[in-house]
Chain A
Amino acid sequence: MTLLAPALLDNLSIVIAVVTETGEVEYKNRLFDATFGPEAEQWIARAARTNVSGERGWLMPFFADPEMHDPVEAEFQDRTYSIQRLDVPFDTPQVALTFEDVTRQREMEQAKSDFTSMIVHDLRGPLSGIQGTLDFVLSSEDARIDPMHEELLLEASHESERMMGLINELLDFSKIESGNFEVENDPVYLAGILRRSVKSLQTVASRDNVHLLTGHGSDLPTIHGSAEKLTQAIINLVSNSVKFTPQNGLIVVGGRVDRNADGEDEIVVTVTDTGVGMTPEDLERIFQKYKQSKSKSIRGGSGTGLGLYIVKQIIEAHGGSVTVSSVHEVGTSMVLTLPIRRAA
């Protein structure tokens, strides 16, 4: 406490408290009492314990990991607080914490997410109708369409498919942002997913004179998760590779069981291309939302900048990780790791 100047802290507009490992409040500034009232000390004492349902109190991670500087969020009296460590050294197990009321911020984010979700749902309906109509006309044997109009209809069909892809990305994004993004725990045969993903994009790749190959055996073990979401992630990565790979290039979807740094077996899936590659700046930001590679797509067309962000969320929801390796003007490899979990 001697390192803190209480008089100065009392005049700050930040709520600060120094708390012990057992949840006792050793120090609080004036704003702490003004914000929380007398019940706050009981709230903090509870946060130092594991509750009856086995959930760890929000205070415990600060003592479990002295290097933890990420904020935690906790509810108190119907408000949400972001609680963060202050770098103050103590001789005894104590931690100095700041409390920021983020209730309004979270409400705004929720409202934005709900609005996006609603708009996206409303857009999907009519677009499905347009797609269905175009597919019907194009597949109808009786339709007398001259080649020029057929080409225009095909173009409209491709563009509506692309728009549906963008809308689906926005829908996934709004689910992620609202915390409603969950994956199932079904048995998933990954080799089948990789093979089907390659097959579904084979026509697009061939049209652009790009070789698309599988590079895995059929003996990949079954994992647990969502086949639909994993397929979405692989297709997203492969179609991204198609966009950035020039003619006569090669894209390979590989998979094998490998041992990680902790000595545990995991499945490593790679989507590797001989595309334009990424700059070091791209590598830093490629998984951030709304960020796209500065390298120009060979095939043109732009996306939402959410594709790789969503891929990362999907893989992380399966307990895995995504790493990108890229050499500018040589190629790029997306390396996904997925833990092999046994069925319960």
Chain B
Amino acid sequence: MTEAQSVGTERGRPGLPQLVAQRIKADGKWATLVWLHQQQRAQPGDVALRGYVEILRVTIVRDFLALATGMEAIPKLTADFLNDFNKFDLTAQEGYLISQIDGRTNIEKLLKVSPFDPFSTLFSLARMNNMRAIEISE
């Protein structure tokens, strides 16, 4: 039985919250999120798994906002990104957002100009920060 198959319905898996907590501790939030996405692909339509994915996404954004001075923090492009942007696997949304990063615009202003909802904009920024395409400075 694969790990994905072993995750049943919410009622039948009292251990899933603990499993998620253990994975966060051992592998970090991003790796746990990837693992949860794998579980979701194995069990599309599982509502409880959706909830766990959301918890991870929201805590990742909370941590991102705590990095510097919250909404006033200014994202900048990294030297790594400027040297070879092709090696970064960005989504269309992330591609648009990175085009708005000029080293002067803070997160609050980026949220205002972004055509996407505030949370998915912040999540994209957090993902780009995690892959070192951008960095945050105060």
Using a CB–CB cutoff of 8 Å, the interface residues on chain A facing chain B are: 211, 213-217, 248-252, 254, 258-262, 268, 270, 272-274, 277, 280, 283, 321, 323-335, 337
Contacts and interface: CB of A to CB of B under 8 A. Distances in A.
A250 B62 contact: yes
A252 B44 contact: no
A216 B62 contact: no
B89 interface: no
Q: List 7 tightest A-B contacts by C-beta distance, closest first.
A: A325-B51, A215-B119, A261-B45, A333-B51, A250-B62, A272-B54, A333-B54
B138 interface: no
Nearest to B116: A217
B66 interface: yes
A250 B10 contact: no
A213 B51 contact: no
A258 B24 CA distance: 26
A56 B99 CA distance: 62
A337 B51 CA distance: 12
B45 A214 contact: no
A325 B52 contact: yes
Contacts of A333: 50-52, 54-55, 58
Given A211-B62, A274-B58, A323 B17 contact: no
Interface string B10-28: 1000100110110010000
Contact of B24 (A325, A330, A334): A330
A330 B51 contact: no
B55 A331 contact: yes
A277 B52 CA distance: 12
B47 A321 contact: yes
A214 B118 CA distance: 6
B65 A327 contact: no
B27 to A, nearest CB: 14
B80 interface: no
9 contacts: A214-B118, A215-B120, A254-B54, A280-B18, A321-B47, A325-B51, A327-B24, A331-B55, A335-B50
Interface of B: 10, 14, 17-18, 20-21, 24, 44-52, 54-55, 57-59, 61-62, 65-66, 70, 116-120, 122
A274 B66 contact: no
A261 B21 CA distance: 26
B46 A215 contact: no
Given A213-B119, A324-B51, 20 more contacts: A214-B118, A251-B58, A252-B58, A254-B119, A261-B45, A268-B47, A274-B62, A280-B14, A323-B48, A325-B17, A325-B48, A325-B50, A325-B52, A326-B55, A327-B17, A331-B58, A333-B58, A334-B51, A335-B54, A337-B47
Nearest to B123: A215
Contacts of B65: 211, 248, 250
Interface of A is mostly: strand
Name B's interface SS: helix
Contacts of A262: 45
Contacts of B45: 258-262
Contacts of B17: 277, 280, 283, 325-328
- Which of B24, B44, B117, B122 has the most C-beta atoms of chain A within 10 angstroms of its own C-beta? B117
A217 B55 contact: no
Given A249-B62, A259-B44, A325 B55 contact: yes
Given A259-B45, A330-B21, A333-B51, A213 B10 contact: no
Nearest to B119: A215
Most buried by A among B46, B57, B58, B120: B58
B5 to A, nearest CB: 16
A268 B47 CA distance: 9
Contacts of A248: 62, 65-66
A40 to B, nearest CB: 39
B41 to A, nearest CB: 13
A276 to B, nearest CB: 12
